[in-house]
Structure 1
Amino acid sequence: MEEPPDEAEPAAWHDLYWRAWEALRNDRQYGAFGGASAVPYMAIRQYALDHGIVGAEFETFRLLFKAIDTEWLEIEARKAKQNSQPSVAR
């Protein structure tokens, strides 16, 4: 596993987004043969409303939440691709 860059160290303000992602990450749909979809907009919107995140703050929240979710989806896709490739005997 590769080490994250120094700028990937979490800051205090990241906590809101990580807590939200942890709460909502299982609200996504999964395909019959694997593969995950993004967390639905309505789940993100409801979480924001429940936590008083509205207006321009919601747009920022949604964009940063989606950035986390998109990165997770890309990591999962890379893992699935690696696991589907036959291993080469040496």
Structure 2
Amino acid sequence: MPEEARSEAWHGLYFRAWEDLRFDRFYGALGGEAPISYLAISRYAEDHGLRDEEFAQFKRFLQAIDAEWIKYASENAED
């Protein structure tokens, strides 16, 4: 594993949040996944006391993780 891919302790918040929220999204009738909804991200952040700049950073990082998942899932979807 390359050095830049190694996990650090602070990554845990984002990966735990993504695991909790990963199915809180719209799934298309013909396949495909939409990003995790803002409402789900916002509610999770509120439940965990993330506000203001902490929330903005949390949302950016979680959306980045989710975007990578969507890319991976679409590349590996069965046609």
Instruction: Calculate the TM-score normalised by the size of structure 2.
Output: 0.95
Count, aligned residues = 79
**Residue deviations 1:9-49 (CA, integer Å, cap 9, x gap):** 11000000001000000101100011000000000000000
Identity rate of aligned residues, in percent? 48
Measured on the aligned residues, the alpha-carbon RMSD in Å equals: 1.0
Consecutive unaligned residues in structure 1, runs of 5 or more: 85-90
Unaligned runs of 5+ in 2: none
- Greater Rg by CA: 1
Q: Higher RCO, 1 or 2 (CA under 8 Å, sep at least 6)?
A: 2
Stretches (4+) displaced over 4 A:
none
Summarize the alignment of residues 1-90 of structure 1 with structure 2, pairs less than 5 Å apart: 5-80=2-77, 83-84=78-79
TM norm structure 1: 0.84
